Amino acid sequence: GDVNGRSALIAQLSFFKSWAFCTSQILYAPLSGFGGTSAYDPFAIAACNALLFLPICFYSLNRFIPAAVALQRPSLYQGGARQVHLNRTSVCIWVVRAVYQAALSFALCTLAFDESFITPEGSPASSSLVAVASFAIFLLVQAGNLALETHTFTVPQALSIIVGLIGSLGLYYLCNLSLRAQKLVDLHSFNVAVGNPVFQLLAPLVLVGALAPVVALKFWGEVSGSPADASRGGGGVQVA
């Protein structure tokens, strides 16, 4: 059964990652002269859904309350039938959240790796370097969103988030080993971007900037009882 909108949240998380991903593409269009150039490399476009699909699937293990307690309280299931957790308001909240986080990530990443940025080889930042840096930050922000929406951290859930992050790094190296797959990735740009102090400072800055307003609004919604927390329904985090 759907307790506290778990199924509704899985559906909205699935749409949310696509909204955030597409928003970055739209914001990149003016910078590319509306030439149809992607903000991400071919690997990011192909792997985005696969890397984020696993953590979202394991979100089904998330438990707001123990199963034994849920069976004793049928009223907890009424929200699903009444569309309390999946409605126009909750969808609008997630759309605004996706656009805000994507815009913040895109703006800060573009400013950090502008024409004044110089690589160790003495060359300016290439579009490929900006693309891999943006995608790495995109994955971090999505992992932060999943963690923020989780009530109960089970081992499979934690592993799925870690695999989604580390798996992207592993896939970059695996693709680089194949001559055909090398066309999809730029491993050198990835190493330069992730290993640079600018990225290492930028990543936590974007993560805090993207998630802090969400945490603040959720806290305000729980305290005031307003619909600001409609996308989740409140509740503390437990470890199982």
**What does pLDDT average to over the chain?**
76
pLDDT value of position 151:
66
CB atoms within 10 A of CB 138: 27
Average pLDDT over residues 188-213: 90
Q: How far apart are CA 83 and CA 29, in angstroms?
A: 36
Strongest mean pLDDT among 39-43, 60-64, 183-187, 199-203: 199-203
Within 8 A by CB and 6+ apart from 57, the residues are 160
**33 or 236, higher pLDDT:** 33
pLDDT above 60 (res 238): no
- Residue bearing the bigger pLDDT, 194 or 61: 194
Mean pLDDT of the 13-32 span:
87
